[in-house]
Amino acid sequence: MRFVRIEMLFLIWAVPVLFFVFFGGMRKRSKILDRFASLRGLEAIVPEAGNKRRWVKAGLVLCTLFFALLALSGPQYGYRWEDGRYPADPVGPRQTGGF
């Protein structure tokens, strides 16, 4: 497999970095919510399904980023077809052989 712009693959390192940003943000959010209200109060304020939705959303964003960077690198796979025709001689037709 060949890539048109191989340098775009270096940006795939942004995916794990963004994962740690998401992970840190979710930990920080839970710490802030723990300081904000008691456990009983948090159940009323924030539904537990919200945390699962955040993880799914973060995973989808990371997958989207990965596949977008992969597509931007321009993968080329397969054959390069040639029909066998060559351009005409720029000088013109040539006569071979003699009289």
Examine residue 44 and state whether it is found in any structural domain, yes or no. yes
Examine residue 31 and state whether it is found in any structural domain, yes or no. yes
Examine residue 87 and state whether it is found in any structural domain, yes or no. no
Q: Let me know: does 18 contact 62? Beta carbons within 8 Å.
A: yes
Considering the entire predicted model, what is its pTM? 0.66
Number of separate domains in the chain = 1
Examine residue 6 and state whether it is found in any structural domain, yes or no. yes
Cα 16 from Cα 46, distance rounded (Å): 28
Report the mean per-residue pLDDT for the chain.
81
**Dihedral pair phi/psi, residue 76, rounded to 5°:** -130, 120
pLDDT tens over the chain, length 99 residues: 888 888 888 999 999 999 999 999 999 988 888 888 777 777 777 776 567 888 999 999 999 999 999 999 888 887 776 666 666 656 656 666 655
Examine residue 88 and state whether it is found in any structural domain, yes or no. no
Quick one: pLDDT at residue 78?
A: 74
Amino acid code (one letter) for 90: P
Note down the domain range covering 70: 2-74
Q: Which residues pair with 2 in a beta bridge?
A: 76
